[in-house]
Amino acid sequence: MTYAVTSGCINCKFSDCVEVCPTDAFHEGPNMLVIHPEDCIDCGLCEPECPEKAIFADTDLPDDEFNALDINTRLAECWPVICKCIDPMPEAERWSGVANKWPLLEIEAGVLAMETDAS
Ligand code: SF4
Ligand code: F3S
């Protein structure tokens, strides 16, 4: 089992989750954080810290977030580790609570190229 960040994080990045993670399992992209499943020790500390309730155990993902584990796994390989809390995104309050934000996920061109190379 591992934990995964779902689309509630997109355009918010409140990053309360980062401070409590004992293994630095979070990775930061342009408008979302993800968890590296190989670094997550399933402690569950991050889940209650997220004001967006965007973090779930992979065994407990909502139906409309079924792809979150795959997205976390792929992007954690490409994005850098984040160890410290950061300021939320400028329009975080506007995007707070909006459902299924996956179409808004930003993936840099270089990361897309890596994904293509890997396939
Ligand atoms: Fe880190 Fe624990 Fe959350 Fe896994 S469950 S990402 S180890 S805080
Ligand atoms: Fe995102 Fe929630 Fe962490 S909004 S950055 S998963 S605290």
- Which tens digit of pLDDT belongs to each residue from 71-108? 999 999 999 999 999 999 999 999 999 998 999 999 98
112 pLDDT more than 70: no
* 107 within ligand 1 shell (Cβ under 6 A): no
Q: What is the pLDDT of residue 82?
A: 98
Ligand 1 atom with the shortest distance to the CA of 2: 4
Q: Which CATH number fits domain 3-89: 3.40.50.1370, 3.30.360.10, 3.40.50.11290, 3.30.70.20?
A: 3.30.70.20
> Whose C-alpha lies nearest to ligand 1, atom 3?
46
* Alpha carbon distance 78, 62 (integer Å): 25
> Whose C-alpha lies nearest to ligand 1, atom 8?
21
- Which tens digit of pLDDT belongs to each residue from 22-75? 999 999 999 999 999 999 999 999 999 999 999 999 999 999 999 999 999 999
116 pLDDT more than 90: no
Q: What is the pLDDT of residue 109?
A: 78
Burial 29-61 (b: 16+ CB within 10 A, else e): bebbbbbbbebbeeeeebbeebebebbbebeeb
114 pLDDT more than 60: no
* Alpha carbon distance 87, 33 (integer Å): 13
C-alpha 51 to ligand 1 mean position (Å): 16
